[in-house]
Copies of this chain bind each other. A is one copy, B any other.
Amino acid sequence: MIVELISVGTEILMGNIVNTNSAYLAEKCASLGFSIYYMTTVGDNEERLSEAIKTAIQRADIVLLSGGLGPTMDDITKETVAKVCDLELVEDLRSREHIQEYFAKRQLTNITHNNWKQAFIPKGATVIDNPNGTANGMIVKTGECHIILLPGPPNELKAMVEQSVLPYLTTLQDAVFYTSMVKISGLGESFVEDKLSDLIAKQTNPTIAPYAKEGEVHIRVTAKGKDEKEAKELVKPVVHEIHKRLGNFIFTDDENVTLEQNVIELLEKHELKICTVESCTGGLLAGRLVNVAGASEVFKQGFITYSNKAKRKLVDVKKATLKEYGAVSPQTAKEMAKGAALLYNADVALSITGIAGPDGGSEEKPVGLVYIGCYINNHVFAKEFHFTGERSKVRESSVANALSLLRHSIIEYYEGGFKQEI
């Protein structure tokens, strides 16, 4: 089965937003064993959109459209699909109720007339519920081609794909596919690829594909079988081999498990309470830990000590340390972590202090210099990092590496360390 993606939105053509939906949808399609030959992005323009849709219908069995289902006048995806397929738009009562409930739930009263536009669907279309917004999706069958319309906002699109679209696509796929996502922290992509190059080179079934993420590498292992059992059996030995080579640098084989989740689980397992102290990341590290529902078991409090005074008053960094070595130094990072752990009796504390830029850099301490401090098992240490990219990138890298550093420290101190010579 051939899938074609069409992203609709002038804001993509203007470069206002990066098209992450396409990568997400492509990854999902690959995991189901569908092939994508073309991705197209087109603006909110009826003539060009309908041309793109007609072309895709000719080339593909499934056309996935994202964007242009909003309430405003320039949202025309649904209308254009209806025209191309020669279907009239009819009001879908369930969608109308959905909009009503959505506004009621948020205690919003000003439902403007253009909101009701979202209750209309091409006649005969199957509605895809949207748990996160007013724009329901829909499936339109034309000839042998399945056209699937989804809204543009990633949180809406993803929820609908997980909940409705993947199950539907699975019914269109004769074979069954099983995927394991082996996630690695603390190793670079090219290093991981090198370690697995022979496996990747001779891949057939299962297929093996590496994905580079911030501070992580994910290896997707997907096998095709006549049933799930057969597909699973094909995946198992490959995942086993990857584990043999990368050991506990791997933190999960489960697509849905995040690094912060793994870290929280490790802290729970060893009954360690953690406290965070952040300067340049300003709360993003704590923010990622709190991503994990139930983090409250091990994470009680965190501090953003952005000023020197806050570093002194809140986590007991010595005035002399700040004076002698500066706020961005291994000494300060260590005192931040140790001070927080001792003051607020945490077993583990992570601290981040650095120069995120664009200003504040110097010859000796350039933009991108970050120290991550860690207090664990009555030891305290700080590690130096040099990150590249703009301010937000430096901060994101700092958080990812802090989580990775903590995971490795827990493994070193509480799980007998790493077995591999890497």
Interface residues of A (CB under 8 A from B): 10-20, 22-30, 36-43, 45, 48, 52, 70-74, 102, 105-108, 110, 112-115, 131-133, 153, 155-156, 159, 188-191, 193-194, 197, 200-201, 209-212, 218, 220, 276, 278, 280-287, 289-291, 293-296, 299-307, 309-310, 314, 356-360, 368, 385-393, 395
Contact = CB atoms under 8 A, between A and B. Distances in A.
A290 B282 contact: yes
B282 A131 contact: no
> Which 5 residue pairs of A and B lie closest in terms of their CB atoms, listed nearest first?
A283-B283, A282-B290, A15-B27, A15-B26, A302-B304
A22 B24 contact: no
Given A16-B209, A281-B287, 13 more contacts: A12-B23, A16-B210, A17-B23, A38-B41, A40-B40, A72-B210, A102-B388, A112-B190, A133-B388, A280-B290, A291-B391, A300-B306, A302-B304
**DSSP majority for the A interface?**
mixed
A256 to B, nearest CB: 12
Contacts of A18: 18-20, 23
A181 B102 CA distance: 29
A142 to B, nearest CB: 22
A386 B286 contact: no
Contact of A289 (B70, B282, B291): B282
Contact of A38 (B52, B133, B194, B388): B52
Contacts of A43: 37
A16 B282 CA distance: 28
Contacts of A102: 388
Contacts of A392: 155, 291
A336 to B, nearest CB: 13
Contact of A37 (B27, B48, B209, B289): B48
A390 B155 contact: yes
A201 B73 contact: yes
A299 B306 contact: yes
